[in-house]
Amino acid sequence: MRPNKTVLATRGRGNPSGPVLLAVYGSPADEAAVEFAFAKASLRGAALVALRVWNAWSE
């Protein structure tokens, strides 16, 4: 099942540490999510971990 909206999850701390995680699945909203994740990682000086996800059972 694919969500019909972009999902954003963030930590509740004011000064997060660690990498930024980006997961995309082929939605038109992916481009905005990629831009946001790159900008956030750059702003924080953090690594960016990117995942391409899919559901083999719904194909």
What per-residue confidence (pLDDT) applies to 47? 92
* pLDDT digit string, tens, across residues 11-29: 666 667 788 888 888 888 8
Domain ranges of the chain: 20-58
- Banded pLDDT at 59 (limits 50, 70, 90): low
d(CA 14, CA 43): 14
d(CA 2, CA 20): 22
Asked whether the beta carbons of 32 and 6 are under 8 A apart, the reply is: yes
* pLDDT digit string, tens, across residues 30-55: 898 899 999 989 998 989 999 888 87
